[in-house]
Amino acid sequence: MLSNVSEENLRIKICGITQPEQGRSIAQLGATALGFICAPTSPRYVTAQQIAAIVTHLPINLKTGKPYCDLIGVFVNADLELICQTVERAQLNGVQLHGDETPELCDLLRQTLPGIELIKALRIQSTTALEATYRYYKSVDTLLLDAYHPTLAGGTGKTLDWSTLQQFRPSIPWFLAGGLTPGNILEALACLNPNGIDLSSGVEISPGNKNLTQVAQLFNALHSLSSNLQRE
């Protein structure tokens, strides 16, 4: 089955950015969003100051004076005040919650940070977990579905069972994550029609050290998908 997802309407988020030069290169290759891990226990952790330093290296839209790509901080059961401080200091325009945050907390954060995209990541272990995503539809702007791991919040390299997501039709946009690589991305998009994709370990040499060759391969694969759709 050929995907009806094209590169032009697909958000492409590369997560776990830690190095300014790599952030700039990945943005130039075409990423629409960069993710920064704000959880201190993660090997990809960066401080607000480090994120701000990376942001200064990104290509800037001369009309807006801001980077072309979205800047998303990833938090795991973080204090509300810390999230707000990090958003301000690091110039983020998106917050991804990757822990056990409730819809009620999401509502509160949305009220506290108006204008900031709120993404709720959910680790899908079963059909029941997938069905429960509806609880967040009115509390966040975007969902992100990741593979379940008993101890790690993300970046595990494990893939979801894509066949279980084929009937997934949330009322809000969603990202597909979990073990995506340049080698399997077209297979994933042939099965599913997410609004965005999120890659981390699938384009890394080691945690936080991105493999720019693999990132380029990802975009080449997505270019080929768009070319195939245009020829139809």
Per-residue pLDDT tens digits for 22-38: 999 999 999 999 999 99
CA distances (Å), origin 174, targets 165, 170, 206: 12, 8, 27
Residue range 162-209, pLDDT digits in tens: 988 988 999 999 999 999 999 999 999 999 999 999 999 999 999 999
Pairwise CA distance, residues 213 & 183, whole Å: 13
Is 15 among the catalytic positions?
Answer: yes
Residue in 15, 38, 69, 106 annotated catalytic: 15
Q: Using CA atoms, how far apart are residues 226 and 6, in angstroms rounded to an integer?
A: 5
The tens digit of pLDDT for each residue in 74-87 reads 999 999 999 999 99
Say how far apart CA 98 and CA 120 lie, in whole Å.
6
Q: Give the Cα-Cα-Cα angle 207, 221, 163 (nearest 5 degrees).
A: 80
Q: Which of 69, 70, 146, 198 is catalytic?
A: 146
* Active-site residue, 146 included: yes
* Domains of the chain with bracketed CATH: 7-207 (3.20.20.70)
* Three-class SS state of 29: helix
Residue type, 166: Q
User: Whole-model pTM above 0.85?
Assistant: yes
